[in-house]
Amino acid sequence: MHTLDELQSLYATYLNENSYKKEPISLYEPVNYILSLGGKRLRPLFSLMAFELYDNKIDKALCIAHAVEVFHNFTLVHDDIMDQAEMRRGKLTVHSKYGVNTGILSGDVMLILAYESLLRFKVPSSIPSLVHIFNQFAREVCEGQEMDMLFESSSEVTLAAYEKMISLKTAVLIAGALKMGAIAAGATESDALKLYDFGLNIGVAFQIQDDYLDTFGSQAQVGKQIGGDIVQNKKTFLILKALELGNQHQKQDLLNLFKTENVLLPQEKVKKVTAILTELNIPDEAKRRKQYYFEKGMKSLEEVQVMTEKKELLRKVAFQLLEREN
């Protein structure tokens, strides 16, 4: 079994060896740019970790991991355009650096490149199943993004609806990456589904932690402006929980702050909203809910029918996601 560092090194080498040196350069340079911004690249590594539970010939799965990473970054390029975000991982977003039109088109080609990578898998009989899983989570990510945008202008968003949205927008990609890796390596359908459930629950916990960090992290830790979700009127777990727990005065203050006609400067708005969240102990509520999903995910992992030692790396990575500060 490889260590996480070894898997990261293997994938980084593959990524470097498969950069897109195509014409026109103006189309593919932004693709290489977003893929070079780094980060932990855990989504492709989840595919590799799941594959290695059943098959130690890990090189065979690198094309699957790459498909996951290219697709994920495709969604980031387009999400940043929709969110009008200027920074990603501490660097300019693609559309800020290259322009909106190029950002849209380079994002489009990344979706095609992801499919091309997936189709390089050397076991043709497995490709239909892999494409089916890929199509499912790709469609669901789009559904989750649309729900997220609809929530910005809706005053009737529930916590249940929000958790459904983040399971689609964020968690299904982690879950699908694990399932593809397992299926490619010959896992049973039962094990593949358990790994999917593990990824789904860990992914929701991951997003709740992301919500927390967006408001209560630091810009140096997170690599982007703190309070961006608040400025964009996003109904995160923190806001929805505050609306659930707050008294009438606190609820009305939050709703007024999130009205589109609110004329407060962004930093003043963030300060006022954060004060209400702190008053209601929302950070602790977020930590409790994150732990709930984490424990559900770990239970599914325990039920995967492989030796306990083989699952240790997945346990370790899940714990790191739970405790991360960026």
Residue with tokens 């500060």: 325
| H-only helix segments in 25-83 | 25-36, 42-52, 62-83
pLDDT in tens, 68-111: 999 999 999 999 999 888 988 889 999 999 999 999 999 999 99
CATH class name, domain 4-323: mainly alpha
- What pLDDT band is residue 290 in, cutting at 50, 70 and 90? very high
Q: How far apart are CA 164 and CA 58, in angstroms?
A: 33
DSSP 3-state helix, strand, coil percentages of the chain (rounded to 5)? 75, 0, 25
Predicted TM-score (pTM) of the model is 0.92
Q: How far apart are CA 18 and CA 63, in angstroms?
A: 10
Give the chain's radius of gyration (CA, Å): 20
Q: Domain residue spans in the chain?
A: 4-323
Q: How far apart are CA 39 and CA 139, in angstroms?
A: 24
CB 192 within 8 A of CB 179: yes
pLDDT of 326: 52
pLDDT of 221: 56
pLDDT in tens, 188-235: 999 999 999 999 999 999 999 999 999 998 655 555 567 888 988 888
Q: How far apart are CA 125 and CA 243, in angstroms?
A: 50
CA 149 to chain CA centroid, nearest Å: 16
Q: How far apart are CA 82 and CA 169, in angstroms?
A: 14
pLDDT in tens, 104-143: 999 999 999 999 999 999 999 999 999 999 999 999 999 9
Strands (E), 201-279: none
Which carries the bigger pLDDT value, residue 8 or residue 89?
A: 8
91 forms beta bridges with 88
pLDDT of 250: 94
For residue 259, pLDDT over 90 is answered with no
